[in-house]
A and B are shown apart, each in its own frame.
Chain A
Amino acid sequence: MTATVDAPTAELGKARLRKEDAKLITGQTNWTDNIKLTGMLHLAFLRSPYAHAKITRVDVSGALGQPGVIAAFSGADFAAEQGSLPCAWPVTPDIVIPPHPPMAVDEVRYVGEAVAVVVARDRYAAADALASIDVDYEPLPPVLDIRTALDPGSPKVHEAGNKSYEWVFANGDVDAAFSDAPVVLERTYRQQRLIPCAMEPRAVVAQWVGDEVTLWSATQIPHVLRFALSAFFGIPEQNVRVIAPDVGGGFGSKLQVTAEEVLAVLIGRKVGKPVKWTETRTEGNMTVHHGRDQWQRIKIAAEADGRIRGLSVDLLADMGAYLMLVTPGVPLLGAFMFPAIYKMDAYSFKCTGVFSTKMPTDAYRGAGRPEATFAIERIMDELAAELGIEPLELRERNWIKHEEFPYTTICGLTYDSGNYEAATAKARELFDYDGLRAEQRLRNERGDKVRLGIGISTFTEMCGLAPSRVLGSLSYGAGGWEHASIRMLPTGKVEVVTGSSAHGQGHETAWSQIVADQLGVPFEDIRVLHGDTQVSPKGMDTYGSRSLAVGGLALVSACDKVVAKAKIIAAAMLEASADDLEFSAGRFSVRGDPEASKTIQEVALATFAAHALPEGVEPSLDSDATYDPDNFSFPHGTHLCATEVDTETGFVHIRSYVAVDDVGVVVNPLIVEGQVHGGIAQGIAQALYEEGVYDEAGNLVTTTLADYLVPAAADLPSYRTERTSTPASNRLGVKGVGEAGTIASTPAVVNAIVDALRPLGVQDVTMPCTPERVWRAIQAAHGQPAHGQPAHGQPAHGQPAQGTEQSGGMA
């Protein structure tokens, strides 16, 4: 399965080393925290130790006498100007969006919420002086379990109650699908709370000069941030410049308008000096928005032969204490993904957004799609077990066949391309699926203490966010287009300006490859500029695997315009008609007379000189283009995971992992490989290691990387990765790859664990599948509930959660 979009070109598909890396690995990176400005002051925030409390008094005067301290403020000092942090996605007309002041004034609603700030000459002095601020709190009851937060007697996070919204979607006759179905399974899955943990912590520098402010921030979204500062905090847009210098990872966590960004701008104006703040890791764990945190009740109805009749999903989604930039919309991005690659007659979805006294949740790598993919791929395995059908066979009986594309799903999405058979066949072979199944049978028969399990994930996802009309229909507050500019320099070199602001993805390399092919200029002659609203004034930034599928297409469109202008000038230079010119590999030549030609560099110089331009032609080849996609793109693939589970200790070892991904046409295989590897690691992290844990008082327990376990290279297997390719229906044939690995891998790993333990009676293990939880699941399945309580009041691990019992059976 190879691409058939265009003839092979010079750069597309080449495993170029990344232009970005020399700088990164030689310590020349310009992180926000490296910025030093004359007279710059440093901020330290005092944060709430309570999950929920009234603030009855804040006295910052004690800090003012401390060495190096210039100023100190509490929330009341900002009350008149700080407004409310924006939520751009009011998903329903009656959604409750509570005010969210950047600094708490009267009440705190999660541990870590900022209540005061010290401004000092250095960050040590600022941190020291925090101890001299007095705050009186009147504790209020925390709200920590969203499953009971909607009960009438529950304490309230906000006066309006704990329900933010209820969003529903349905298509087909769901009642009919379920009413007389031969098999109905219902399960409840837990999507634990995750903490993004980007390598570079958040950092902000704000500098006012007159009435103009420049904000440097470790952000994914300089353009959105500029708009927000202007639209919601009253600074005229033309006076705001936002710079995202080199940014060290985000995974969605820097897709946010944060309290600290807004406060740095306000404080900088108050003190008349540049101010800087860089979070500590502990601060980051507490106050960078978290991800996931859903309870998923999923119900599937099927025929006895495994054909799916209907699917019904009921989500409870923990919003945390406030709605941040896209908090309420994240579960909805998953709403369209539960049916995944499968055909069915009916589907219903309901999501209830619930407030708690925890850090707000928001986008985290995959944002809604990993949750959906997990639930459907887990229950497909359960259905296979229930019916005694081989799990890959069950999937094949239900998936959309390659000849059926384009295919409109039960959600109304049109999948433009895909070949699930091809990806699965390749994965099966690489994995030695049949050999491992044989070994598994043998080990089960022997009753081995270490069991082998095989996990499957035949996933798809939607990326290329997003057609603006679709965003509009979902009540999102902005469009989904992307912008690009090409500047042809007089010497024939090229500056590419992109609105898609990279923070580790490798845009500088990939964009250079695309432009090199489109304009026929050498890769080395191209410079990519981004991440500064003064350099790149228009853009929608980087998230949702949108950069290539949207920003890359904007780039192609901008290149078209350059070529069209250059053609007219080249025609004049060649004394030919533009209609008689063809453009190939950077050269305009007269059809039938290859000797008569001009390179695009020659045309650029002639345009600059402007001595002999045709009548009415401007002396510029530069172009701008804004691209709004007409559909999402749908990467897919088959991931297979083999785990060895030590039934004595509960330890899970990943023995092998095969990923076959179809991301359409590949611009740079090295970058794709990196994204797939990192993505799988992050998905395995959810399956086995990571969980943001609050205790019964609402304190975050996992404040350091000793407690919040991010796996490292030593903990992860060597992946075997391959690709199949069905080109997407856009001009480049590209789909996007930033989140695929994360979306695919979590269910593959958990399915493998359950598959290993199913002969022992285990039906589920709650994520993260820690050794203790795996061990307890085995104990429980043996009918020997483990004695004692699991640590920290967690749900009894491995016990079926409420509602996981099968609600139907063979009729």
Chain B
Amino acid sequence: MIPAKFDYVRPSSVGDAVSALVGGGEDAKVIAGGQSLLPLLRLRLAYPELLVDIGGLDELRGVTDGGDHLLIGARTTHYQLVHDPLITEHCGLLAQAAGTVADPAVRHRGTLGGSIAHADPAGDLPAVVLALDATMITAGPAGSREIPAGEFFVDYLTTALAPGEILTGIRVPKLSADWGYRYEKFHRTAQAWAIVGVAALVRRSDGHVAEARVGLTNMGSVPIRAAAVETAAAGAQASPEALREAAAGADEGTQPPADLHGAPDYRRHLARVLTGRALEAAAGV
């Protein structure tokens, strides 16, 4: 657990951070809470020559009410997501999912932006922001950009962030009170990554599902929206049987990985079962 040598800067503004990142080129990496990058450094799986530590940029931390949306600073920790009253009120799914990330030590240091920018498909929050239809806000040499979550995750550990670009915040539309939610995480130990996770949002109307959104964790190289489930659930009766039936297509279009904790066919099965459970919980049935 001995990292290779690297240079380190801790800029005091987003502009300086972007300049440092641009200056460092391909061998520069942003570090925030360090909960994803540091293990890679210590295992010598990553060899950046420059770390740009955005830990001093307090403007990237915290939650602001933007009227019909919340703006969440990229450096907001998992712990803050769990405990912030605005998040709990307007997008409780994020708080619930953040509460399942690893252990308390990780949740106090790890950040929302770090989890999104690292883009590990086994991470919990990418599938959640995908289900929430969130928008990623970036700062780069060419100014600021807004990237919808659906376009942000490009491949395994790869995002739409351009060279020199930093994720500064995430804009999440507020959900009205008729939305229910559930993050169903399946893992072997409390600290372990999800074998499969399902982030479900359901809007109910007159005993039916008016609208459902489902994001899947660890069912491919990127977080995935379970489109077949969303279509099948829309208009379905809000009953366990109907929702389980809608969940039967949860693994359509997925390419789940194989590892020690599960072969692809087992993950497909889990996705169906867990999606049913998540929809039931989100629909309150």
Contact surface of A with B, Cβ cutoff 8 Å = 123-124, 127-128, 280-282, 648-649, 651, 688-689, 693, 701-702, 704, 706-707, 709, 711-712, 714-715, 770-772, 775-776, 786-792
Contacts and interface: CB of A to CB of B under 8 A. Distances in A.
Nearest to B276: A648
Contacts of A786: 265-266
Given A702-B260, A715-B189, A791-B263, A127 B273 contact: no
A714 B187 CA distance: 12
B112 interface: no
A714 B2 contact: no
Contacts of A709: 188-189, 192
Contacts of B259: 791-792
18 contacts: A127-B2, A128-B4, A280-B2, A648-B273, A649-B186, A649-B273, A711-B189, A712-B103, A771-B186, A771-B188, A771-B195, A771-B262, A775-B266, A787-B265, A788-B264, A788-B266, A789-B263, A790-B263
Given A772-B266, A789-B263, A124 B2 contact: yes
Contacts of B264: 788
Contacts of A770: 188, 261
A288 to B, nearest CB: 15
Interface string B1-30: 110110000000000000000000000000
Contacts of A702: 260
A770 B265 CA distance: 15
A712 B188 contact: no
A775 B269 contact: yes
B265 A788 contact: yes
B260 A693 contact: yes
A653 to B, nearest CB: 12
Contacts of B195: 771
Interface in B146-180: none
A28 to B, nearest CB: 22
Nearest to A779: B269
A648 B264 CA distance: 16
Contacts of A792: 258-260
Contacts of A714: 103, 189-191
Contacts of A787: 265
A776 B186 CA distance: 17
Contacts of B266: 772, 775-776, 786, 788, 790
B262 A772 contact: yes
Contacts of B274: 649
Interface residues on B, range: 20 to 34
Interface in B266-285: 266, 269-270, 273-274
Given A707-B260, A786-B265, A792-B260, A712 B5 contact: no
Contacts of A772: 261-263, 266
B181 interface: no
Contacts of A282: 1, 43
Closest 10 A/B residue pairs (Cβ): A788-B265, A714-B190, A127-B2, A791-B263, A791-B258, A280-B1, A715-B189, A772-B266, A648-B273, A790-B263
A781 to B, nearest CB: 16
A805 to B, nearest CB: 25
Interface of B: 1-2, 4-5, 43, 103, 186, 188-193, 195, 258-266, 269-270, 273-274
Nearest to B2: A127
A776 B273 CA distance: 15
A649 B189 contact: no
B107 to A, nearest CB: 13
Given A706-B192, A770-B188, A771-B188, 10 more contacts: A280-B2, A282-B43, A701-B260, A706-B193, A712-B190, A715-B189, A788-B263, A788-B265, A788-B266, A789-B263
Contacts of B186: 649, 651, 771
Nearest to B274: A649
Could you tell me the dominant secondary structure of chain B's interface residues? loop
Contacts of A707: 260
Q: Which among B1, B260, B262 has the greatest number of chain A C-beta atoms within 10 A?
A: B260
A384 B263 CA distance: 34
A689 B189 contact: yes
Q: Which among B2, B43, B103 has the greatest number of chain A C-beta atoms within 10 A?
A: B2
Nearest to A788: B265
A652 to B, nearest CB: 10
Contacts of A649: 186, 270, 273-274
A712 B273 contact: no
A123 B4 CA distance: 11
B269 to A, nearest CB: 7
Q: Which among B1, B188, B191, B266 has the greatest number of chain A C-beta atoms within 10 A?
A: B266
Q: Which among A128, A689, A791 has the greatest number of chain B C-beta atoms within 10 A?
A: A791
Contact of B260 (A712, A788, A789, A791): A791
Nearest to A789: B263
A651 B195 CA distance: 12
A702 B193 CA distance: 15
A128 B5 contact: yes
Contacts of A123: 2
Contacts of B189: 689, 709, 711-712, 714-715
Contacts of B263: 772, 788-791
Nearest to A280: B1
A128 B273 CA distance: 47
B250 to A, nearest CB: 13
Contacts of B192: 706, 709
Contacts of A688: 188
A689 B188 contact: yes
A655 B191 CA distance: 20
A709 B260 CA distance: 10
A714 B103 CA distance: 10
Contacts of A788: 263-266
A419 B104 CA distance: 44
A707 B193 CA distance: 10
B190 to A, nearest CB: 4
A625 B270 CA distance: 62
B116 to A, nearest CB: 20
A790 B266 CA distance: 8
A715 B273 CA distance: 22
Contacts of B103: 712, 714
Contacts of A711: 189
A715 B190 CA distance: 6
A488 to B, nearest CB: 47
Contacts of B188: 688-689, 709, 770-771
B258 to A, nearest CB: 4
Contacts of A651: 186
Nearest to A282: B43
A282 B263 CA distance: 24
Contact of A791 (B5, B193, B262, B269): B262
Q: Which among A123, A688, A770 has the greatest number of chain B C-beta atoms within 10 A?
A: A770
A706 B193 CA distance: 8
Nearest to A201: B1
A786 B4 CA distance: 44
A233 to B, nearest CB: 29
B1 A281 contact: yes
Nearest to A646: B273
B44 to A, nearest CB: 8
A694 to B, nearest CB: 12
